[in-house]
A = this chain, B = another copy of it.
């Protein structure tokens, strides 16, 4: 039997970190060595992640206590990884960063969207953008992977075949994502207060969402494109539904669209085309992918115009964070891609 891959997590008290711990504890090829948290130093993991009660004896340790291991996952707040990446690289050859720090290839774009100079711009090109379905080959030999933003992942996977084939009017796409409250992290805020948030439908980022930069980077293929992006926050905990309105630059029928999506995704385990004529779940829904690493994608062609509505959905903490990172980890380490990621979700949820 092969040796287990030793893994540590830096910043494991947040929601993405918690899901990653859970996945790694059950991964047959992984030994989870250490999990850091300055805030919960010395506490048992289950005190923060109550679903892990009786699953592990690990306690949160300090960053300074980190020992060397095979792979480090970074789950730090945005802006914290770029300044400390070399330090972690002394401990582990391979690093998977779940923050936004190394997603954009172009430091000028980083400055524009994140409002500060990148601290380590020459490192940007060493990171592979973390969506396996787009960058699998690079991941196989990568030492650094930067997990994609959750809203970006949902949008990109929904639109990739269309943009890749050049079928879209480049400046007209409108994307409306609806997101759950776990996107905001595990710190309570005024706007996450239950009486405020319960039943709310809140236009929290009608323009200028930072994930727009990633979407453009991954879908432009050398052309100038525009993504008119808005985000609305809902009273759900996990999940994203992206409704993308694209305008086709040629006559395509629904069967053509089917063929296109099958061409790109038929062999992708974690992508499912969902388009039913009847039943409660005719299009993708966050409920159905909650807890899973699936990205469900559906579409509807407007009979009256050249608009195609693409509906895509993921669990923001799984395919949008911990699950995507683990999928990349599997590829990077030559393991079967779905190892540890087979939970099919609950129904009803």
Asked if A206 contacts B54 (CB within 8 A), the reply is no
Which residue from chain B places its CB closest to the CB of A56 in the assembled complex? B344
A348 interface residue (CB < 8 Å to B): yes
Asked if A228 contacts B188 (CB within 8 A), the reply is no
Asked if A234 contacts B234 (CB within 8 A), the reply is yes
CA distance A264 to B298 in the complex (A): 40
Which residue from chain B places its CB closest to the CB of A240 in the assembled complex? B201
A96 shortest CB reach to chain B, Å: 21
A47 interface residue (CB < 8 Å to B): yes
Q: Using known A-B contacts A302-B207, A302-B208, determine if residue A309 contacts B230 with beta carbons closer than 8 Å.
A: yes
A153 shortest CB reach to chain B, Å: 17
A50 interface residue (CB < 8 Å to B): yes
Asked if B188 contacts A283 (CB within 8 A), the reply is no
CA distance A284 to B303 in the complex (A): 32
A274 interface residue (CB < 8 Å to B): yes
Residues of B within 8 A of A201 (CB): 178, 234, 236, 239, 241, 285-287, 313
Q: Could you list which residues of chain A lie within 8 angstroms of chain B, going by C-beta atoms?
A: 15, 18-19, 22, 25-26, 47, 49-55, 172, 174, 176, 178, 181-182, 184, 186-203, 206-208, 226, 228, 230, 232, 234-239, 241, 243, 245, 269, 272, 274, 276, 279-288, 290-292, 298, 300-305, 307, 309, 311, 313, 342-349
Asked if A311 contacts B226 (CB within 8 A), the reply is no
Residues of B within 8 A of A307 (CB): 207, 228
A346 shortest CB reach to chain B, Å: 5
Residues of B within 8 A of A291 (CB): 291, 346
Asked if A198 contacts B245 (CB within 8 A), the reply is no
Asked if A202 contacts B283 (CB within 8 A), the reply is yes
17 contacts between A and B (CB under 8 A): A51-B347, A52-B344, A174-B228, A176-B176, A176-B243, A178-B232, A181-B194, A187-B193, A188-B193, A193-B280, A199-B237, A201-B241, A201-B313, A203-B241, A228-B307, A238-B349, A290-B346
Asked if B346 contacts A191 (CB within 8 A), the reply is no
Residues of B within 8 A of A245 (CB): 174, 228, 230
Which residue from chain B places its CB closest to the CB of A49 in the assembled complex? B347
